[in-house]
Structure 1
Amino acid sequence: MPDSALSIAFNPAGIELDPKKGLSRQLYQALRLRVLDGRLSSGSRLPATRDLAVALGISRNSVVRAYDQLYAEGFIEGRIGNGTYVAHLPEKTVPAKKLTTNLSTGFSTGLSPALSTKLVDLPVITSSKVIHSTALSRVSKHALDLPPSGVPRAFRVGVPAFDLFPFPVWSKLQAAFWRKPDLEQLCYGNPAGDQRLRELIAAYLRTSRGLACSAEQILITSGAQQGISLCAQLLVEPGEGVAVENPGYRAAAHAFSIAGAHVQGVEVDEQGMKCAALAHLNNCRLAYVTPSHQYPTGVTMSLARRLELLEWAERNQGWIIEDDYDGEYRYSGAPLAPLAALDRQGRVIYVGTFGKIAFPALRLGYLVLPEGLVESFARRRSLDMRHSEVSTQVVMAEFMAAGHFQRHIRRMRRAALSRRNTLLAHWPQGLEGVGPMPSVVAGLHVAVPVVSHEREQVLLARAKEANVEIVGLSRYWLEDTVKPVDNRAGLVLGFAAVPEAEIKAALDLLGRVWR
């Protein structure tokens, strides 16, 4: 039988190709669509490339390229001496919908969701459709909110004065690295991190923070949150208790919850976490704390509480995770020695970050681990990400070695102090339901008490209308204790994100809208 007779089953009518776009790609998409929606069934014969080219008024090469792509993806197959046919594909279990096709692009607007080639037609997986999975359920219950968008405004929490970061210096160091990179550093690296950077971090902690440690105890992470997550993955068994400060850093509580831990909040007072309560928690061998500057209340854990916490960990063979997220910022005297500096039994894991000294998007942090944990943590981290991005580590190492890091810390401390003083000097007085501004001796934020949850919400709503960012203290409590109890209300203000003039302008505005 002649080819023309065999080709009658294929009708090219309706295939319209835009000569201004790639012809072979358009034809490939149109033919692929016809196979998927069933208009070209398994075993259907396709025209010879020359015949189809004539029918569509395009070059044979365009048809050949379209066929080659369909061959490569398994949509069509050739039979020696007998032409080209649609491959035998699995039968559709979902009937094809009636199609409205734009053949200039080759996409369908009515293709069965199971076979759609269009992104917007892909099936949406909702919680009711997802396979029952404990891990997926935990993620849905303990996900973080998206961070605030846009450039920092008064009074965004957790953001340092990165408008003062020496970007020209950093860019020169970055350019120097890429101008003539060490080829060895471009291969797969140690999951524990760049050796030189680890050595410099250890030296910095020894001299500036009083924490005796070696480079072999340092594990580089993608920010503090990854370090906390690694601790949750490796130190907690499902069902075990984990003690966290309440109110506290919710992202840490989420990490432990996702790992299957039973997160238990421990009240915080003017001396920090009430460590005596740990003895009454069920099956608890891990505590997460922010002793140098409690998040979010801002209190400093007393020496007596620190020693009590260490004694609890030693007695129970437990672990303490110390998050020293902004310990460099102390406004009278030198920064406090970390809790880890008092540890003599290897029970404290120290979490550090460059995000509060440089900028959050740097995503560079580290853990100081007891020697027996380093290898396990490095191996576990390598399964999530083989190792940290190399140039950031190398540039930060050079930044530290050349003295830029220490100079920048001093500059950031002075800037934060000046911005803190502006906040204290211009804070509106006599506000209804708002307690006195507490003293701020450390950190990058302050928590101001408010008389009731209802009043807190009113103040937050008015601040939002005025385009001022403030977080309510009530949101930092664990979910099972988030009831609108009056002593849980307050305003948490970060004071380092913007210059003094913007702080004063925002405070003047709040003084008007809050009255």
Structure 2
Amino acid sequence: MTDSALSIAFNPAGIELDPKKGLSRQLYQALRQRVLDGRLSGGARLPASRDLAAALGISRNSVVRAYDQLYAEGFIEGRVGDGTYVAKLPEKALPIKKLSTNLSTGFSTGLSPGLSTKQAELPVITSSKVIHSTALSRVAKHALDLPPSGVPRAFRVGVPAFDLFPFEVWSKLQAAFWRKPDLQQLCYGDPAGDERLRGLIAAYLRTSRGLSCTAEQILITSGAQQGISLCAQLLVEPGEGVAVENPGYRAAAYAFAIAGAHVQGVAVDQEGMDCSALAHLSNCRLAYVTPSHQYPSGVTMSLARRLELLAWAERTQGWIVEDDYDGEYRYSGAPLAPLAALDRSGRVIYVGTFGKVAFPALRLGYLVLPKGMTEPFARRRSLDMRHSEVSTQAVMAEFMAAGHFQRHIRRMRRAALSRRDVLLANWPQGLAGVGPMPAINAGLHVAVPVSSFAREQALLAQAKAAGVEVNGLSSYWLEDSIEPVDKRAGLVLGFAAVPEVEIKAALERLRKVWN
């Protein structure tokens, strides 16, 4: 075919370029898409860059840049003295089925005037298309809702009083680190975490929590959730049983379920998890508990239950994952010694976090592991992320070493106590279907019983309309719970996220809509 025939076959009407965006990039994408879907078949000759530029009303340089990118990626090829041609690609290699072509339109030698240059829709992969992957199907079944966005409002759960965090001190420490960083710290680091920070965490736990441990037992994580996920990956084989509190922290239950475990809910009463039920669970390998302040009921596991749980782990060679997510907050006496402090057989993994004393976005937590287990946990973690972000670890280490951490914890405890007292003093009394406000001796939230699921949902809807965040206790139960739905009802309120004046205002709005 002659050059004149090619020019007639080529019609630029199908190419639409937005002058406000990169012209060469748009042209590259349009031509690339035509090669992939077969509208430009292998061996088709492309117009000379000067001719295409004139036809489209753009500079020749824009066309040359588009051609150069296509050439670099192998979509087109140049023939010395004979122009530019579409490369011949194997039909099986093309990701999109070829469109039927009509030779009389000249599709094989040019661009069709009826074909838009707008981005073609990509195929959507749904869970039904990947159901053959058991791991992906488990993820689809056990996905968490996105957390609430925006500035915390009353009564958001899981958020400390981070409006009181000493950001000025933190920023100075951060600036000092980056002003003259140790070049060694900017290389790849130990996946177990910063050595200095690990030592300081161990010292803090020994003095403040009565947990005897060393730096070698500490593994730094990106928040408590990563620590729980590591336990799920390394301590349980697919099909083995995992006991979780019910109601409880569903993100932990989901982590174990996605790892292939058979998650089994265990009832919680005023003494914590009913440990006697563990003997009746099939092939139970691990128990996940929040003994210091059960999430979300708020009860504290009794000493008898703690000893019973430890005896079960020693007898069965099972594991206990203790999540001490807000153990620093106790309002009468010193914080309770963790379950791990009673462990004499090395069966407890302690999960800690800085998110409840600093702010959730910090994403800094840790595990306290039995001796000899830190190395395999660190190796496994390094496959997900080589190591934690260096400056955050270094700054937290200095924050602790200089005494800021302990002072901040005392301040946070006083603030949480004050905000708790405002909630208790101003809570609306005599609400229909709402039980009495329980005593709050620890933690950052409280669960209030409600008579029925329907009443719970009505209260939640009214609170939302009033701009107040309240969680339903029913949402903390496992989906396959046998407990009657009305027995699951309640209100869960976090009381530390906002100052006292905002708590009073929110309670006043609730009093109006709930009455």
Whether the TM-score (by the shorter chain) exceeds 0.5 is: yes
Give the secondary structure class of the aligned counterpart of 1:424: helix
- Comparing 261-270 with 38-47, greater Cα deviation is found at 38-47
Change (3 A) 1:420 1:18: closer
Counterpart selection for 2:97 from 71, 89, 94: 94
> Do residues 187 (structure 1) and 217 (structure 2) align?
no
Displacement after TM superposition at 1:495 (Å): 0.5
Q: What aligned pairs does 1:406-425 form with structure 2 within 5 A after superposition?
A: 406-425=406-425
Residue identity in the other structure for 2:320: I
Displacement after TM superposition at 1:336 (Å): 0.6
Q: Counterpart of 1:396? A: 396
> Do residues 286 (structure 1) and 289 (structure 2) align?
no
Change (3 A) 1:319 1:50: same
Q: What aligned pairs does 1:94-493 form with structure 2 within 5 A after superposition?
A: 94-96=97-99, 118=119, 121-481=121-481, 484-493=484-493
Displacement after TM superposition at 1:371 (Å): 1.6
CA contact (8 A) 1:474 1:482 kept: no
CA contact (8 A) 1:7 1:45 kept: no
Give the secondary structure class of the aligned counterpart of 1:463: helix
Change (3 A) 1:11 1:488: closer
Provide the C-alpha distance between the structure 2 equivalents of 1:8 and 1:260, rounded to a whole number of angstroms: 62
Deviations 1:47-101 (A, max 9, x none): 3334444555554433322221110111101223432211112446635399xxx
Give the secondary structure class of the aligned counterpart of 2:392: helix
Provide the C-alpha distance between the structure 1 equivalents of 2:26 and 2:370, rounded to a whole number of angstroms: 60
Provide the C-alpha distance between the structure 1 equivalents of 2:390 and 2:100, rounded to a whole number of angstroms: 50
RMSD of the TM alignment (CA)? 2.4
Displacement after TM superposition at 1:331 (Å): 0.5
- Comparing 479-488 with 232-241, greater Cα deviation is found at 479-488
Q: Counterpart of 1:66? A: 66
CA contact (8 A) 2:16 2:118 kept: no
Q: Counterpart of 1:101? A: none
Displacement after TM superposition at 1:277 (Å): 1.3
Displacement after TM superposition at 1:117 (Å): 7.7
Q: What aligned pairs does 1:8-27 form with structure 2 within 5 A after superposition?
A: 9-12=9-12, 14-15=14-15, 21-27=21-27
Displacement after TM superposition at 1:475 (Å): 1.6
Deviations 1:387-444 (A, max 9, x none): 1111111111111111111110000000000000001111111111211111111000
- Comparing 329-338 with 144-153, greater Cα deviation is found at 144-153
Change (3 A) 1:366 1:97: farther
> Do residues 501 (structure 1) and 501 (structure 2) align?
yes
Residue identity in the other structure for 1:426: N
Displacement after TM superposition at 1:488 (Å): 2.2
Change (3 A) 1:174 1:452: same
Provide the C-alpha distance between the structure 1 equivalents of 2:267 and 2:25, rounded to a whole number of angstroms: 64
CA contact (8 A) 1:453 1:484 kept: no
Provide the C-alpha distance between the structure 1 equivalents of 2:247 and 2:507, rounded to a whole number of angstroms: 26
CA contact (8 A) 1:9 1:44 kept: no
Provide the C-alpha distance between the structure 1 equivalents of 2:332 and 2:402, rounded to a whole number of angstroms: 27
Displacement after TM superposition at 1:28 (Å): 2.6
Displacement after TM superposition at 1:299 (Å): 0.7
Provide the C-alpha distance between the structure 2 equivalents of 1:17 and 1:110, rounded to a whole number of angstroms: 13
Displacement after TM superposition at 1:484 (Å): 4.4
Provide the C-alpha distance between the structure 2 equivalents of 1:126 and 1:46, rounded to a whole number of angstroms: 37
Change (3 A) 1:367 1:18: closer
Displacement after TM superposition at 1:128 (Å): 2.2
Provide the C-alpha distance between the structure 1 equivalents of 2:100 and 2:125, rounded to a whole number of angstroms: 20
Change (3 A) 1:222 1:63: same
> Do residues 47 (structure 1) and 52 (structure 2) align?
no
Deviations 1:287-344 (A, max 9, x none): 1110100111111111111111111111111111000000000001110111101111
Residue identity in the other structure for 2:251: A
Q: How many residues align?
A: 502
Change (3 A) 1:178 1:85: same
CA contact (8 A) 1:241 1:282 kept: yes
CA contact (8 A) 2:131 2:137 kept: no
Deviations 1:80-126 (A, max 9, x none): 3432211112446635399xxxxxxx9x9978xxxx9837x221112
TM-score (norm 2): 0.92
Give the secondary structure class of the aligned counterpart of 2:417: helix
Give the secondary structure class of the aligned counterpart of 1:448: strand
Displacement after TM superposition at 1:363 (Å): 0.7
Residue identity in the other structure for 1:264: Q
CA contact (8 A) 1:272 1:305 kept: yes
Residue identity in the other structure for 2:344: R
Provide the C-alpha distance between the structure 1 equivalents of 2:475 and 2:6, rounded to a whole number of angstroms: 71
Q: Counterpart of 2:106? A: none
Provide the C-alpha distance between the structure 2 equivalents of 1:390 and 1:214, rounded to a whole number of angstroms: 21
Provide the C-alpha distance between the structure 2 equivalents of 1:11 and 1:435, rounded to a whole number of angstroms: 76
Give the secondary structure class of the aligned counterpart of 1:128: helix
Displacement after TM superposition at 1:476 (Å): 1.3
Provide the C-alpha distance between the structure 1 equivalents of 2:289 and 2:484, rounded to a whole number of angstroms: 24
Give the secondary structure class of the aligned counterpart of 2:219: strand
Change (3 A) 1:42 1:146: same
Residue identity in the other structure for 1:384: D
Give the secondary structure class of the aligned counterpart of 2:448: strand
Deviations 1:337-367 (A, max 9, x none): 1110111111100000000000111111000
Provide the C-alpha distance between the structure 2 equivalents of 1:64 and 1:445, rounded to a whole number of angstroms: 63
Displacement after TM superposition at 1:36 (Å): 3.7
Deviations 1:458-483 (A, max 9, x none): 22221122111111112211111166
CA contact (8 A) 2:52 2:63 kept: yes
Change (3 A) 1:238 1:2: closer
Displacement after TM superposition at 1:486 (Å): 3.2
Change (3 A) 1:482 1:470: farther
Change (3 A) 1:54 1:458: closer
Residue identity in the other structure for 2:419: R
Displacement after TM superposition at 1:132 (Å): 1.3
Give the secondary structure class of the aligned counterpart of 2:157: coil
Residue identity in the other structure for 1:424: L
- Comparing 282-291 with 504-513, greater Cα deviation is found at 504-513
Give the secondary structure class of the aligned counterpart of 1:443: coil
Structure 2, unpaired ranges of 5+ = 102-110
Change (3 A) 1:374 1:97: farther
Provide the C-alpha distance between the structure 1 equivalents of 2:241 and 2:115, rounded to a whole number of angstroms: 51
